[in-house]
Amino acid sequence: MSRRVRRLLEPVDPARGVHVGHGDVEALLDRAREDVTSYAPPAPAPAPVRQRTSLLIPVATFAVVMVAGAAIAVVQAVSGSTRPPVPYVLPGATAAACLEQIAGRLQPTSYDGQSGRYERLRVSQDSGMSTQLPDTLGMATVVYSEDWTRWLAEDGSGRQRIVRGAPEYPDEASRNFYAEHPGHLPTAGTETRELGRRGLPVAPLPAPDPAAMDRELYQPRENGPSQALVGVADLNRGRVLPAAHRVAVLRFLATTDGVVCRGELTDPTGRTGVAVSADRGRGPRPSPGDHGRELLLFDARTGELLASSGGVTPDGAMVWSTVYLERGYTDRPG
């Protein structure tokens, strides 16, 4: 933004002079991408008084600034309110007792008790990228599926095989851009990569204890309980979890405020599991509005993570962003 434009905007900036405090940054940015509506409730009309007095009404300010593709959202309550802060836990939210039930009667998997030089993981997930269109503020977007299998040793060596689906485009402008710039697109088909020592980073495996899982996976804590689910999903993308670690994960989530049971759901492969979710934007300083939720699907017998979801379609269908297909150990890459 040029200095001249800044000088012109400053007099009408609704957040001018407002102190910017800490908040749930990810949720605020998510809201800023699509909505600039103020979510402050209307101030109640003051009650009639018989004598003249001064009245201070708390007001909330929501300002959004878009500069060079970056979004900055500010939510700040003006001093004067004596109300307590918004509760950290959603109203009506309860601990996810369904996960404690799974942990209490956990059954072994086919790979429990086994070992091998390589951890073998097979995962299916949605991927994509966006590129700014030349001479415009628009973005060209492409999405594609990836089915990858990874054989990874403790030193980061092994092999990775990716089967990438055909690209799909949300609009004609995106299709035309990538047709003119094919070098921006990843190659569809099968791609195999041999990994030398430290070829890929190996995610550390926390101690098999709920408190350790809480410390390692619930970060950054300012993002609220949905971040705990993100941490569990990321750990399962990088490591095979033995039985003791699966129990620790289940008990960690079962006692995390804001994580709630959602009953049984079925993933894209037809496997039925027990679902839990946590709403985004519900950290220590909750953000206004609905930001959607993170959701995990667990096998009711073994406690394995089957799938994770970050949203639903307009007609209410679940969008499974990651499906965990195979796990195990082997002494040789496939």
Instruction: Label the pairing between strands 189-195 and 158-164.
Output: antiparallel
Q: What are phi and psi of 298, to 5 degrees?
A: -110, 145
pLDDT digits (tens, 9 = 90+) for 56-74: 323 232 222 222 333 222 2
Model confidence at 17: pLDDT above 70: no
| pLDDT tens by residue, 131-160 | 999 888 899 999 999 999 999 999 999 999
* Per-residue pLDDT band at 105 (split at 50, 70, 90): very high
Q: What is the pLDDT of residues 162-208, one digit of tens each?
A: 999 999 999 999 999 999 999 989 889 999 999 999 999 999 999 99
The Cα–Cα gap between 276 and 259 comes to 7
Average pLDDT (23-50) is: 45
Specify the 3-state DSSP secondary structure of 332. Answer: coil
Residue 52 has pLDDT above 50, yes or no: no
**What are the E-state strand segments in 184-331?**
189-195, 260-266, 272-279, 293-298, 305-312, 318-330
Is residue 292 within 8 A of residue 309, CB to CB? The reply is no
- Predicted confidence (pLDDT) at residue 21 exceeds the cutoff of 90: no
In the structure, what pLDDT confidence band is assigned to residue 13 with cuts at 50, 70 and 90? low
pLDDT value at position 243?
A: 98
pTM for the model stands at: 0.71
Q: Within 10 Å of residue 315's Cβ, how many Cβ atoms?
A: 5
Question: Is pLDDT of 104 > 50?
Answer: yes
Determine the pLDDT at residue 125: 95
Q: Indicate the average pLDDT of the chain.
A: 79
Pair of tokens at residue 178: 């990538």
